[in-house]
Amino acid sequence: MTPSAPIRVLLVDDHTMVRRGLATFLMVFDDLELAGEAANGDEAIELCARLLPDVVLMDMVMPDMDGATVTRLIRQRFPTVRVIALTSYKEEGLVQSALQAGAIGYLLKDVSADELAQAIRAAHTGQATLSPEAAQALVHAAAQPPTPGHGLTERERAVLALMVEGLNNTEIAARLVVSPSTIKSHVSHILRKLGVTSRTEAVALAVRHRLIA
């Protein structure tokens, strides 16, 4: 039987010592291989295009371009490449942004060598791996009530901002160069999405939760 090719791994981290340590770790396993190293997001995207690695180990906090943004761009341009977030941070927001960007795993940097190797193998076959801390963060986030206004479109937010300024439908329509009936429809959608029954309540909610810039 012909042995399968090793899993080619790209390391993305702005700290040289972290990349060196990970490169050394990869040498321990016969089925894993270092495909390349990138110190920032631009390098990561360039190397993905040139090398098309199987799996990327992605730092989440880097200067210039954060790991979630890099992950999203890689997944959009190279959908066969799997990305595992490998970070020192376990905040809910980071976990959510990484997974929403397309990461298939989220691990902390204190993970053992065997656990990391297994996560790489799992990612290569399309299976997700989350650290216990990341899983707990997702459970906690799912238990929180949704933020008011989360479902508003960009145009609805623009209308809401003008409502906060005190403009009526006709004035908002003139400002946005649309018909008053269109604004009336937007206002109706805004009230429904915010779970309120009047413009006054909508404005109060928008101010209280800072729904507009």
Residues 120-149 pLDDT 10s: 999 999 999 999 988 888 887 777 666 667
Tokens 């040139």 belong to residue: 50
| Domains assigned to the chain | 7-143 (3.40.50.2300), 154-208 (1.10.10.10)
- pTM of the entire predicted model: 0.68
What is the C-alpha to C-alpha distance for residues 59 and 70, in angstroms, rounded to an integer? 10
Chain segment 148-175, per-residue pLDDT in tens: 676 788 899 999 999 999 999 999 999 9
Of residues 205 and 212, which shows the higher confidence score? 205
Of residues 97 and 104, which shows the higher confidence score? 104
Q: Is residue 105 predicted with pLDDT exceeding 50?
A: yes
